[in-house]
Structure 1
Amino acid sequence: MDTVFALASARGRAGVAVIRVSGPLALDAGIALCGSLPGSRGLRTLVDASGEVLDEALVLVFGEGHSFTGEAVVEFQVHGSTAVTDALLRRLGEIAGLRLAEPGEFTRRALENGRLDLAQVEGLADLIDAETEAQRMQAQRVLSGALGKKADEWRRDLIRAAALLEATIDFADEEVPVDVSPEVTALIDRVQQSLATERDGVGIAERIRDGFEVAIVGPPNAGKSTLLNALAGREAAITSEMAGTTRDVIEVRMDLGGLPVTVLDTAGLRATDDLVEGIGIKRAVERAGAADLRVFLLSDGEAPYGMEPGPDDIVVQGKADLGRQGFAVSGRTGAGLDELVSRIQKVLSARAAHAGTAIRERHRLAIIRASEALENARIEVSGGPDRAELAAEELRSAVRALDSLVGRVDVENILDEIFASFCLGK
């Protein structure tokens, strides 16, 4: 296998830059640069091929099987100027047997060497992209191997169930003293229940990763755009006393209590003969209907036009600065803003609590395939000993579906897509 190198920290001026070398020639490359390597870490002077000093660096050495990639690795922590990093990368490129790493190649080697499973790789990608506390916690949970541990438990139960059925097949011509179907059915039930919980939590987990959508809806001039600007802390939407100013959906992404949220400012909902405004209202209704939560901002207690609030939706009076009664909010003065944010957080946090360790559509589809195979296995088991062989095959199909969760089988077609999202040094 080639020895690869890359800048593992962000490009540009910084206090420290990290350059990683991984592969069978990593230690030789380190010696070529600094003469001798420390046992694990130490300060060394790095020189080019002519012996001219490149920089003084903290050098970290990881033996095979003890690094992120599972290979021998040397990391150089140098001063983070562009000139220093470019000089060091240029020197590494001159060493025979070394090449620049491809995007995600270090992580791909960790997968191939058994340091990470595929779900952990996806968790690492999410951790790198995490912007909020909820995203960080979810990604960290997956990176820690939580989904892989569950997949191992499911696999163990199903292999046990298949082994029991195989025993009845092997001794089909003899009298088997124990009916294994109750234990097999119990194992199938246990796995199915756990799979159902994970399947139902994928949608919420995806929302935590990609962001919840909260739509502000209501009549024209209720203060929707002013409220959006107040939530965003900037002039994201044009405000005007003229009805129909907002014609399209305006989006602002923000962090609310650690949750990623995109707040949508929609066109005022009212009956209109204006063609352009009518298109905006249609878009507003469609987008608001697809949102995770709607905030109905009303004026003078009138009923919302064109939409009905759902059980979790929030209904609030706008322009509290004009003396509205009850729960009211003003984007202009900030009155009621904290209460509104608190209510939004409460609803979304309650939903986020149902997120599982399966976090992607790929995971959901694998779980569905496994669940369908288990349901078929249950039917075959209920058919008696003569159906044991068919039941065992369905259980093996379920195991293969679950193995794809962590990259044991059937994932080659998605690896390039996954690793394309990684930066060069990861």
Structure 2
Amino acid sequence: MLYNDSIVALATPSGAGAIAIIRISGAEAITIGNSVFKSIKNKDLTKQKTHTLHLGHIIDDQKTLDEVLVSLFKGPNSYTGENTIEISCHGSTYIQQQIIQLLLRKGCRMADPGEFTLRAFLNGKLDLSQAEAVADLISSDNEASHQIAMQQMRGGFSNEIAKLREELLNFASLIELELDFAEEDVEFADRTQFHELLNRIEFVLKRLIDSFAVGNVIKNGIPVAIVGEPNVGKSTLLNALLNEERAIVSEIAGTTRDTIEDELVIGGIGFRFIDTAGIRETQDVVESIGIRKTFEKIEQSQVVLYLFESLKFKVQSSEYILEIEKVKNQFPLKPLVVVINKTELLTDDEVAEIKNQLQPLNVILEMISAKQNLGIEELKNQLLSFVNTGALRNNETIVTNTRHYDSLLKALEEITKVKYGLETNLPSDLMAIDIKEALYHFGTITGQVTNDELLGNIFANFCIGK
């Protein structure tokens, strides 16, 4: 597809609001805007300076559609790198549609999803990883995901990759030069320096790859399953964590017959809490389905809160300890937090006894009263401790994009091959092949290597107008 025509789209969410913004971009954007805009001071938009605001009316033939404010950006000094205008009109859906239809009749076409950002990429205003960060920024719903998206949009990740690629490219050029003088048997690339570079690239790639585990959690939220027998206070705990009446609370065992999910931001990190049906033997068909889903949710979660009612635990501690061991053995890689609820019903000696009984299991123990909101903050802090926020605090580059993660893995594989070839004195022409592959995978991250199918897949997930 050619990207030299003028496109239009609503840049604000659809629906009625106080103000709506309609964006036009393209070589003829200002001319088209000027054809429907009548300034209150009779200004000609085509003759105005870039980055200026103009008050006036949108006119369709002799009919005034709305009083608007037009923002003018001349290429290349605009988001897309093209001539761009933004029309701030009143937020009536009728007004929005009337103005957009008028602009379509004047020569614009409707923008595809993400086409404004795609044009920014094609015009060199940002690289591909920065373009993808725009989508992440729009969808960020907590402080941590917002921070990572901003860091990537400013080019932190792409700058790190570009620097490595440039250094590797310099050595690749020297290796290629050696091939041209193969008969003279000379070395232009210092093998010691090359080995040091490969070690540095390998170190950075491994760090970025390892950061994906944290980045993926921060971007998508941490799923936490709340499990336990019926009527031990799982729904009450969920309500206490969320500080609202989200789940139904009842004295009747088995009230929660399906999973209930909600999200809470703790310390800038999103946690998705899943209140599951109670685990017990039952003849109720519907409740049995809920219990089966409970084990599915434990499998999908990253943290498990195993909740017990304090007085029952005091009486049935040996039985419950076996259940805790069973869950630990079934899900050995998942952090398991044993939560004793309704501790206000216990004496200090009884609390100490429960702690002593659970100590040999080497589990994390939290004593709470969900109903009285006791120990809830301590539980939140415990959940936050499962997330490695050190890299976030230090403003290090964190990978959150699966496509980037895949390219980094492939680049590391090729770098490992080059390193092995260097250590085993592999011929330069064979090493050159692996170096080119590594450069290719670096290039796919920033968009120095791309194709229409890749761009289509990336920008298809953008919202219209961005």
Alpha-carbon distance in 1 for matches of 2:440, 2:62: 55
Assess if the C-alpha contact under 8 Å between 1:161 and 1:183 holds in 2. no
1:219 offset after TM fit, Å? 3.4
CA, structure 1 residues 249+178, in 2 after alignment: closer, same or farther (shift >3 Å)?
A: same
For residues 351 and 279 of structure 1, the distance between their equivalents in structure 2, rounded to whole angstroms, comes to 41
Deviations 1:267-317 (A, max 9, x none): 3345x3648556544543343244222223233363244312868533331
Contact 2:214-2:387 at 8 Å conserved across structures: no
Three-state SS of the structure 2 residue aligned to 1:425 is coil
201-210 vs 123-132, which deviates more? Answer: 201-210
Aligned partners of 2:231 and 2:252 also within 8 Å: yes
Does residue 314 in structure 1 map to residue 334 in structure 2?
Answer: no
1:291 partnered with 2:294: no
Q: Greater CA deviation, 348-357 or 6-15?
A: 348-357
Q: Give secondary structure in 2 for the equivalent of 1:46.
A: strand
Q: Cα deviations across residues 147-173 of structure 1 (Å, max 9, x unaligned)?
A: 211110120121123233234333333
SS at match of 1:217: strand
User: 1:42 is paired with a residue of what secondary structure?
Assistant: strand
> Distance between the aligned counterparts of 1:188 and 1:25, measured in 2?
49
Q: Give the Å deviation of 1:12.
A: 2.7
Q: Deviations over 1:30-73 (max 9, x none)?
A: 22123512423233322424243333322221111111111011
Q: Choose the corresponding residue for 1:389, options 429, 432, 441.
A: 429
> Relative to structure 2, which stretch is displaced further, 205-214 or 239-248?
239-248
* Distance (Å, rounded) in 2 between the aligned partners of 1:279 and 1:59: 57
Structure 1 residues 10 and 245, CA gap change in structure 2 (3 angstroms):
closer
TM-score for the superposition, normalised by structure 1: 0.90
Deviations 1:346-389 (A, max 9, x none): 323548749843212111111111111111111222232x6111
How far is 1:256 from its partner?
2.1
| Residue in structure 1 matched with residue 81 of structure 2 by the alignment | 70
Name the amino acid aligned to 1:11.
Answer: S
Number of aligned residue pairs: give it. Answer: 423
* CA shift for structure 1 position 258: 1.9
1:44 aligns with 2:55: yes
Query: Could you tell me which of 236, 244, 247 is aligned with 1:237?
Result: 247
- Residues 336, 157 of structure 1: alpha-carbon distance in 2 compared, 3 angstrom cutoff: same
Q: Which residue of 1 aligns with 2:362?
A: none
AA aligned to 1:313 is: L
CA–CA separation in structure 2 for the residues paired with 1:179 and 1:34: 62
Give percent identity, aligned residues only: 33
Post-superposition offset of 1:244:
4.1
Gap regions ≥5 residues in structure 1 = none
Q: How do 1:3-402 and structure 2 match up within 5 A? A: 3-35=6-38, 36-37=44-45, 38-39=48-49, 40-95=51-106, 97-174=107-184, 176=186, 180-270=190-280, 272=281, 274=283, 276=285, 280-298=290-308, 299=310, 300=313, 302=317, 303=321, 304-305=323-324, 306-308=326-328, 312-323=335-346, 325=351, 327-348=366-387, 350=389, 353=392, 356-384=397-425, 387-402=427-442
Residue aligned with 1:140, SS: helix
Q: Is the 8 A contact 2:144 2:392 kept in 1?
A: no
Deviates more, 1:84-93 or 1:170-179: 170-179
TM-score normalised over the length of structure 2: 0.83
Unaligned runs of 5+ in 2: 39-43, 353-365
Q: CA deviation at 1:318?
A: 0.8
Whether the aligned pair in 1 keeps the contact of 2:21 and 2:88 (CA below 8 Å) is yes
Residues 352 and 226 (structure 1), Cα distance of their counterparts in 2 relative to 1, 3 Å cut: farther
Mark the CA change 1:58 to 1:47 in structure 2 (over 3 Å): closer, same or farther: closer
- Is contact 1:17-1:85 (8 Å) kept? yes
- 1:408 alignment partner, SS class: coil
Q: Secondary structure at the match of 1:404?
A: helix
1:232 positional shift: 2.4
Q: 1:404·1:411 contact (CA, 8 Å) conserved in 2?
A: no
Counterpart amino acid of 2:435?
L
1:68 partner amino acid: Y
Amino acid at match of 2:249: T
Task: Provide the aligned C-alpha RMSD in A.
Answer: 2.6
> Which AA in structure 2 matches 1:396?
K
CA contact (8 A) 1:103 1:424 kept: yes
Within the alignment, does 1:421 sit opposite 2:457 as a pair? no
Taking the aligned partners of 2:392 and 2:337, their CA distance within structure 1 comes to: 20
8 Å CA contact retained: 1:222, 1:318: yes
Distance 1:102 1:201 in 2: 33
- Letter of the structure 1 residue corresponding to residue 22 of structure 2: I
Which amino acid in structure 2 is aligned with residue 331 of structure 1? A
Q: Is the contact made by 2:12 and 2:21 (CA closer than 8 Å) also made in structure 1?
A: yes
Query: In 2 relative to 1, CA 146–208 (structure 1 residues): closer, same or farther, beyond 3 Å?
Result: same
| 2-structure distance, mates of 1:278, 1:90 | 55
Structure 1 residues 91 and 279: CA distance shift in structure 2, 3 A: closer
* Conserved? CA contact 1:197–1:356, under 8 Å: no
Contact 2:303 2:334 in 1 (8 A): no
Preserved contact between residue 391 and residue 397 of structure 2 (Cα < 8 Å): no
Distance (Å, rounded) in 2 between the aligned partners of 1:243 and 1:186: 65
Q: CA deviation at 1:336?
A: 1.3
Q: 2: CA distance between counterparts of 1:25 and 1:420?
A: 25
Distance 1:411 1:292 in 2: 36
Distance change (3 Å), C-alpha of 1:166 and 1:221: same
Q: How far apart, CA to CA, are the structure 2 residues paired with 1:77 and 1:330?
A: 52
